[in-house]
Each structure stands twice: as structure tokens, then as C-alpha cells.
Amino acid sequence: MGQFAAAGALIAALSASAAMADAPANNTALNIMKSTAAVQAGKCDEALPALEALWNDPEFQAADPDTAEQFRFERILCTLTQNGAAAAMALSAENEHHAGASIASYDLHTFLLLSTKQIPAAAANVEEALTRFPDTASKLADMTVMATLLAVQDETTRYNLLNHLERVRWQIHDPSARLIIDTLRLHGLRAAVAAGDHGLAELYRADMAPDGYMYALIEGDGRLTDASVPAAPVQPVVRAQINEVKAYIASRPTDLLGLEYLIGLERSDDDHEVALVQLSGILTLIAQNGLQKFEQPNAYPSLIADKAQLLLDLQRAPEALTVFKEGTERMRGPGTIDFVIAYMNALIDTGQEKDALALESHITLVAMNASQKRALAATEACAFAYMKDTARYALSLSASADAHGIAAIKPYLCAGDMDGAAAALIARINDPASRDQAILLMQDVKPQVPHSVRDRDYVNAIAALRKRPDVLAAAKAQDIVVRAWPLRFEQY
């Protein structure tokens, strides 16, 4: 642990100081050594007396306040192990108001509050941290901030906290998590604009501008942008994002979610070959060292699907289908539902709808969430459309509808029903809950790479759908600005 390395140097300094003063013993150095040895040996019961002695040790605090704080953390965590959550929480609350406390003490206490499901208290604790330590707010950990924001159920509390984070200029440290915080920021931006708080709105805009996806979304919302003002070039933004994430992954090569985010950015910028080389390298390392050596192992099926998708984009369909087939036969557990659905879509695109439907035996229906059930229904509907099975097509199309009763758009296009697809898209444009999705659906982006004749027809149908007069009129009525973007965004 880091504090133990720092403690070694401190012990030497304290011992030298004691020797020069001809002191018979140095209790601070002795307590550091005792507690360090006991904690490293996993003997919290033996460590606690020495840690308690160090808690308010003025010599320790004066010599190295940061390391002294870390040893207070050790006392709290050992108390958690030995005496339970209530005792540790009480000690942690006391530590936050210790003379040597920094914002790191709030990180620990918020973690304890979240782990004991005291969500409102966790939010209040982060608020207090931002108020007491605005100049060092940037040091709050991603987990502290994001877990609190996402756990809070009361929207007013959530966005008051988000506004406070904006004002003290807190930024997420993991660039692969940008999309999550920026999705929350978009809500904050809209609220600031509605409230006429131009200063706060500009802070939000500045924070989201380096995210190409969110920038396109903001520029497509006529309530947030001036349609007469051209958008700034977005490709340099995406290139900067790619370089930032690459640098992050270079320092954390076991971060699978970070890699997944990078692959998505590179695909949007047509860096398919580069993305495939990077991904294949990591998958080789996983095969050699075991998935347990990597962070977020549940992302593994998505990475295999990404490899297959990259191969499809590079017109290497037989290889892609082999990757899908082997993955479906080998993988089980979290993440595989989306993988199998992606495989089904790939088979349907290449005219193998019966084989696609047979893959449903690999899906555990009770494990599916509502979104996955809708995605599966939409995939089934496309298969039935191509098979001319109108009865099962209608049932699957109905099952693809969201909570507002709006069916998926793709099945209509698979069935050649442009009027039905237009009606579904217009319904999504007019549904406030689908506004962000509708904005992106309407943007004039580079089309997805077609993988087959059937897929080419589908890509062309999407482009035609977006340009229908009734669809454009609905978008204009809902203040959606249609702009052209030199990127490939997944839209349907």
C-alpha cells in the first residue's frame, strides 16, 4: 500500500530526529512500524492500538499530514473489520472533521455511506466536501462522485449536486466514463438554459464540447443551439478523444471497458483496421493470461462482438460469422445476451434468418432486461419480415415497442414498409422521453458500412426515411436541427 512506502521514509526521518535529540525512544516511529507490520500481515486486531495512538499524534501530523491521514484510514478500515460498520462509520465521521482531514477523508466516508445504502447522506456528504474543499474538489474519486449521482433517486438532489460539481470544475478522471457524466450534464444544461442561468449553462457546454457524440446531440437540439450558426468541426474533437483514451489505456491496459469505449470511437472515425489490431492484441493477452487478470470481465462478450463487427465493416463476413459462432458456443453468463442478438442480426443480414432464430436456444429469457427483450423482438421481427411470415412479424413488432408503445423502426424497413417506419420515427420525434434518441436519429451522419445486399438496402432506406417531408416537418416542429457530421454514429 502507498502509505506504507511513505511511512518507511518517515520512520527513518523520525528516528534520525530522535537520535539527534538524544531521545530514548520515538513512539511515533514505533507505532508506525507496529501498525504497518500488523496490517500487512492481515492482523487488524494487533494494529488497532498503534493506529489509535497515531490518530492524534501531533508529531506525525506535522511531519507528513498526508501519510497521517492514510493511517487514520487504516484505523477506520480495521475498525470495520473488527467491530462492524456502525463503529467504522462513527470513526469515519469523526475523521472528516479531524484537523488534518482533506477531501480524501470525504471519499472514504462517502464510500462507507454508499456501501451501507445511506444514499441521501452520501449525497449530502459530497456536497459538504465540495463546500469545504472547493480548491481540491478535482481530487474526489470518480467512484465517489458517479456512484452517488447514479444512486440518488431524487432528481432535485442529483442535479443540485451536479450543478455544484460544475461550479467547482470537477472532472471525471477516466475518459471512458465521459458518456455517463455527459449524459447527466446534458440534463443539467437544459435545466440551466430553462432557468436562464447562462453562466452555469456555459460551464456545462464547455465540459461537453470535448465529447464528439454529445456535441452533435447539443448541436442537433434547436432549444440549445442556433440553427443558423454552423457547428464546429467535430473530427478533431473525436481524434482528441481517441488519443486521450489511448493514453489512459496505456497506463491501465487491463481496463476492458476503456478498450470497448476506444473501439467505439475508432469505428465512428473509420479507424477500423487500427481498432481491429488493438482489439486482437488485447484478446490474445486475455487468452494467454486469463480473463481474471483484467478489469470489468463482463465486457468480454462485447469485445468479441466488436471484433466481429469490425470484420464485417472490413468486408470479412466469413471471419466475422466464425467469431460469432465460436463465441456463442463458448461464452455463457453476463453480457452474452447482447452478443447472441448481435450474431442473430449478422445472420439475418446475410439471408440466414432461420439459423438466426435457432440461436434463441442460447438465450435465457428470464435473465433479459426490458431493453434486451425489445431488441430481441425487433430482431425476430426482421427475420419474420424477410421470411414473409406476417403473423409472427406482427407479434414480434408489437413486442418491440417501448414503454410509450412506440415500436422499433428497423423491422418496418426490413419489411419494406416505409410509411410504417416514418410513423414510428415521427412518434419517437414527438415523444419527450425519446427526444435525445430522435435528435441523433435525424442527424445526417456517414452511413453504416453495408455488409450484404440486404444490408445495403437497409442503409439506403434509413437515408431515404430521414429525408421524407413528413419526417422533416415533424423534426422541425420539435426544434430538431438536422446537421451533417463526418462520423458514423450507431443510430438504429
* Per-position pLDDT tens, the chain of length 492: 455 555 554 544 445 454 444 443 468 889 999 999 999 999 999 999 999 999 999 989 998 999 999 999 999 999 999 999 999 999 999 999 999 999 999 999 999 999 999 999 999 999 999 999 999 999 999 999 999 999 999 999 999 999 999 999 999 999 888 989 999 999 999 999 999 999 999 999 999 999 999 999 999 999 999 999 999 999 999 999 999 999 999 888 899 999 999 999 999 999 999 999 999 999 999 999 999 999 989 899 999 999 999 999 999 999 999 999 999 998 887 789 999 999 999 999 999 999 999 999 989 888 899 999 999 999 999 999 999 999 999 999 999 999 999 999 999 999 999 999 999 999 999 999 999 999 999 999 999 899 899 999 999 999 999 999 999 999 999 999 999 999 887 655
Cβ atoms of 429 and 438 closer than 8 Å: yes
What pLDDT was estimated at residue 171? 95
- Alpha-helical regions (H) of 315-402: 317-330, 336-349, 353-358, 370-386, 390-399
Cβ atoms of 276 and 310 closer than 8 Å: yes
DSSP E strands, 403-491: 444-445, 484-485
With left for phi above 0 and alpha for psi between -120 and 50, is residue 416 left, alpha or beta?
A: left
Cβ atoms of 96 and 105 closer than 8 Å: yes
Q: How big is the CA angle at 56 (ends 54 and 59), to the nearest 5 degrees? A: 75
d(CA 153, CA 131): 22
Cβ atoms of 54 and 71 closer than 8 Å: yes
d(CA 428, CA 403): 12
Tell me, what DSSP letter sits at residue 255?
Answer: B
Residues 6 or more apart whose CB falls under 8 angstroms from that of 491 comprise 440, 441, 443, 445, 462
What pLDDT was estimated at residue 335? 81
Residues 6 or more apart whose CB falls under 8 angstroms from that of 121 comprise 113
Domain positions in the chain are 252-331
What pLDDT was estimated at residue 162? 97
Strand partners, 445: 485
Cβ atoms of 61 and 100 closer than 8 Å: yes
The SS3 of residue 118 is: coil
d(CA 41, CA 379): 55
Strand partners, 484: 444
d(CA 456, CA 465): 14
List, as one string, the DSSP characters of 214-254: HHHHHHTBTTTS-TTSPPPPSHHHHHHHHHHHHHHHHH-TT
Residues 6 or more apart whose CB falls under 8 angstroms from that of 200 comprise 163, 166, 167, 188, 192
* Residue carrying the nine cell digits 436541427: 481
Report the amino acid identity of residue 168.
Answer: V
* Burial of residue 160 (number of CB atoms within 10 Å: 0-12, 13-18, 19+): middle
What pLDDT was estimated at residue 491? 55
State the greatest distance between any 2 C-alpha atoms of the chain, in Å, as a whole number: 95
With left for phi above 0 and alpha for psi between -120 and 50, is residue 290 left, alpha or beta?
A: left
What pLDDT was estimated at residue 21? 45
* Burial of residue 482 (number of CB atoms within 10 Å: 0-12, 13-18, 19+): middle
What pLDDT was estimated at residue 255? 92
Cβ atoms of 358 and 342 closer than 8 Å: no
Cβ atoms of 169 and 204 closer than 8 Å: no
The SS3 of residue 479 is: coil
d(CA 448, CA 313): 8
d(CA 20, CA 69): 27
d(CA 172, CA 139): 10
